[in-house]
Amino acid sequence: MLSLAWLVPVFPLIGSIVTGFFGLRIGKDAVGKVACGSVALSFMTTLIILAGLVMLPEEHRIYEQVVFTWFASGDLVVDFGYQIDPLSMVMMMVVTGVGLIIHIYSIGYMHEEYSYYRFFAYMNLFMCSMLLLVMGNNFLLMFIGWEGVGMCSYFLIGYYFEKKSACDAGTKAFVVNRVGDFAFLLGIMYIFKEFKTIDFTSVFAAAPNTLIYGGEAVTLITLFLFIGATGKSAQIPLYTWLPDAMEGPTPVSALIHAATMVTAGVYMVARCNALFMLAPMSMMTVAFIGGGTAIFAATIGMAQNDIKRVLAYSTVSQIGYMFLACGVGAFTAGIFHLVTHAFFKACLFLGSGSVIHGLHGEQDIRKMGGLKKYQPVTYLTFLISTLAIAGIFPLSGFFSKDEILFHSLVDGNMILWGMGVSGAFITAFYMFRLVFLTFHGESRVDPHVHPHESPKVMTLPLVVLAGLAAAGGLLGIPLIKGAHLLHHWLEPVFSFDMKAALDASAQMMIKEGHHVPAWSHLLEKEEHGLAMEIGLMLLSLVIALSGITAAYFFYIKYPTLPDRIMQGQWGYELVKNKYQVDEFYDATIVNPAIEGSFFLWKTCDAQGVDGAVNGVAKTIAWFSDQARAFQSGFVRNYALFMVVGFIGFLIVVF
Amino acid sequence: MELLIFYPIAFVSIVAALLVVFNKSPIGSAVSLIGMMLCLAGIFVMQKAHFIAILQVLIYAGAIMVLFMFVIMLLNLKGDDTAAWAARDKNKLLSVLTGVLVVGVLYKIVDIATRTELNSPAPLTDNFGTVAEVGKALFTDYVLPFEVASILLLVAMVGALVLAKSKVD
Amino acid sequence: MIPLSHYLVLSAMLFSIGVLGVLVRRNAIVVFMCVEIMLNAVNISLIGFDNYTDQVNGQIFSFMVMCVAAAEVSVGLAIVIALFRNKPTVNLDEFNLMRW
DSSP state of B88: S
Residues of A in contact with B92 (CB under 8 A): none
Question: Both ends of chain C: CA-CA distance in Å?
Answer: 55
Q: Residue A16: what residue type?
A: S
**Quick one: closest CA in A to B101, which residue?**
A647
**Spatial separation of the C-alpha atoms in residues C15 and C12, rounded to whole Å:** 5
The DSSP element (H or E) to which B46 belongs, if any, is helix B26-46
Structural domains in chain C, sorted by start:
26-90 (1.10.287.3510)
Distance separating alpha carbons of residues A96 and A127, to the nearest angstrom: 8
Rounded-to-integer distance, Cα A350 and Cα A457, Å: 12
Residue ranges of the domains in chain B?
A: 2-129, 130-169
Per-residue pLDDT tens digits for C13-50: 898 888 888 888 878 888 889 999 999 999 998 998 88
The whole-angstrom separation of Cα A211 and Cα A192 is 13
Check B108 against A647: CB less than 8 A apart.
no
Closest-CA residue of B relative to C42 is B40
Are C44 and B157 an interchain contact pair (Cβ–Cβ within 8 Å)? no
Query: What count of CB pairs under 8 Å joins A to C?
Result: 29
**CA distance between the termini of chain A:** 96
Q: What is the pLDDT of residue A361?
A: 80
Other chains touching A, judged by 3 or more CB pairs under 8 Å: B, C
Q: Does A281 touch chain C (CB under 8 A)?
A: no
**B-to-C residue pairs, Cβ atoms closer than 8 angstroms:** 221
In whole angstroms, give the CA distance from residue B29 to residue B20.
4
Please write the tens of the pLDDT for every residue from A96-105.
999 999 999 9
Chain A hits for C92, CB-CB cut-off 8 Å, are: 634-636
Among the partner-chain residues B88, B89, B101, the one whose CB lies closest to the CB of A647 is B101
CB–CB contact B89 A650 (8 Å): no
User: Cβ of C24 under 8 Å from any chain A Cβ?
Assistant: yes
Cross-chain residue pair B128–C16, CB shorter than 8 Å: no
DSSP string, A382-426: HHHHHHHHHT-TTSHHHHHHHHHHHHIIIII-HHHHHHHHHHHHH
d(CA A363, CA A356): 6
Among chain C residues, CA nearest to A636: C23
Nearest to B89 among A632, A643, A651 (CB): A632
Q: Distance between CA atoms of A323 and A328, rounded to whole angstroms?
A: 9
* Contact B91/A at CB under 8 A: yes
- Of C29, C44, C52, nearest to B121 by CB-CB distance is C52
Chain B residue closest in CA terms to A646: B102
Q: What percent of chain A has pLDDT over 90?
A: 24
Distance CA B151, CA B154 (A): 5
What distance in Å separates the CA atoms of residue A307 and residue B32, rounded to the nearest whole number?
99
CB–CB contact B98 A650 (8 Å) = no
> Which uninterrupted H or E stretch holds A83?
strand A76-84
Is C8's CB within 8 Å of B6's CB?
A: no
User: Residue A467 to residues A350, A472, A474: CA-CA distances in angstroms?
Assistant: 14, 8, 12
Min distance A628 CA to chain C CA atoms (Å): 7
Instruction: Give all chains having 3 or more CB-to-CB distances under 8 Å with chain B.
Output: A, C
User: Which residues of chain A have a pLDDT value below 50?
Assistant: none
Measured between CB atoms, which of A631, A636, A640 is closest to C92?
A636
CA distance B136 to chain A (A): 35
Residue B17 pairs in a beta bridge with: none
State the complex-level ipTM: 0.88
Assigned CATH for B2-129: 1.20.120.1200
- Any residues with CB less than 8 A from the CB of A268 and at least 6 apart, and which? A142, A146, A184, A225, A228, A229, A232
Minimal Cβ distance to A634: which of C22, C25, C93? C93
Interface test with B, best of A631, A635, A638, A650 (most B CBs within 10 A): A650
Residues of chain B short of pLDDT 70, as ranges, are 78-95, 113-114, 116-121, 166-169
Put simply, the answer to whether A643 touches C19 (Cβ < 8 Å) is: yes
The beta-carbon neighbor of A639 closest among C22, C96, C99 is: C22
Q: What is chain C's length?
A: 100
Touching check for B127 and chain A: CB below 8 Å? Answer: no
CA quadruple A559, A562, A567, A573: dihedral, nearest 10:
-130
The minimal CB distance from C69 to the residues B64, B102, B162 is found for B64
Selected residue of A630, A631, A638, A640 to mutate for chain B interface (largest B Cβ count, 10 A): A640
DSSP class of residue A6 equals G
Taking CA–CA distances from A637, the nearest residue in chain C reads C23
Q: Distance of CA A59 to CAs A157, A177, A474, Å?
A: 42, 37, 24
Say yes or no for a CB contact (<8 Å) between C7 and B60. no
Cβ–Cβ gap A628/C92 under 8 Å: no
Q: Does A640 touch chain C (CB under 8 A)?
A: yes
Q: How confident is the model at residue C9 (pLDDT cuts 50, 70, 90)?
A: confident
3-class DSSP assignment, residue A72? strand
